[in-house]
Amino acid sequence: MIPHFRYHPDPLGTGAFTKGDPQTCDCCGRQTDIWYNSPFYSSEDVECLCPGCIADGKAAEKFDGEFQDSASADKVSDPAKLEELTTRTPGYCGWQQEYWLAHCDDYCAFTGYVGMEELEEMGLSDKLEEIYRKDVAMFDIEDVRENMQNEGSMQGYLFRCLHCGKYFLYVDCD
């Protein structure tokens, strides 16, 4: 079973975790059939982390690592929220440097990878001007509208505010 991660509520669905034949967690030494499959910034070579060792912060502590680069995240006023994001929240895979968005003075939940097709299916394509964070992504909105494809060269990363429910989009390219 996967613990609840406030800033990444469906890490199995987004591919942050893989489910398969049991492996040994490098942190706790226990067998796990679900292991982490996204960025972990550490000077040590870590092959397998179980969800529990991420959720309780033991993996980040043992390997002096982070799941999200603190310099590549919006600023919030409570340092405990940044600590939760960087040391106890599964990250996501980006083309360049992953960036974590915030709103209402808290980090948003990463909901998944999107292209324009997925935004259309969600009814968000007509709200692109409202949700797209050009201040951190820096692409022209027309380029995003014309070129963003899930698993394409221009990839969208969708976040949702935990407090007001508004969606936000970060975009990068390969």
What average pLDDT does the segment 105-122 reach? 98
Inform me whether the pLDDT recorded for 1 exceeds 90.
no
Inform me whether the pLDDT recorded for 83 exceeds 90.
yes
Inform me whether the pLDDT recorded for 123 exceeds 90.
yes
CA angle 35, 115, 20 (to 5 degrees): 20
Inform me whether the pLDDT recorded for 145 exceeds 90.
yes
Residues in the chain: 174
What average pLDDT does the segment 144-148 reach? 96
* Structural contact between residues 65 and 40, judged by C-beta atoms closer than 8 angstroms: yes
What average pLDDT does the segment 71-93 reach? 98
* Structural contact between residues 114 and 145, judged by C-beta atoms closer than 8 angstroms: no
Task: State CA 102 to chain mean position distance.
Answer: 12
* Structural contact between residues 113 and 171, judged by C-beta atoms closer than 8 angstroms: no
The DSSP annotation for 11-72 comes to: TTTTTSEEEEEEEE-TTT--EEEEEE-S--B-SS------HHHHHTSHHHHHTT-BSS-GGG
Task: State CA 64 to chain mean position distance.
Answer: 19
Query: Six-digit token pair at 3?
Result: 């613990």
* Structural contact between residues 85 and 68, judged by C-beta atoms closer than 8 angstroms: yes
pLDDT at 63: 98
Select from 102, 120, 122, 119 the least CA-distant residue to 110: 102
Inform me whether the pLDDT recorded for 138 exceeds 90.
no
Pairwise CA distance, residues 37 & 11, whole Å: 10
Query: Six-digit token pair at 124?
Result: 């968000």
Inform me whether the pLDDT recorded for 96 exceeds 90.
no
* Structural contact between residues 72 and 99, judged by C-beta atoms closer than 8 angstroms: yes
Percentage, residues of the chain above pLDDT 70: 100
Q: pTM score, two decimals?
A: 0.95
Query: Six-digit token pair at 167?
Result: 């969606």
* Structural contact between residues 59 and 27, judged by C-beta atoms closer than 8 angstroms: yes
Band of residue 49 on the pLDDT scale cut at 50, 70, 90: very high
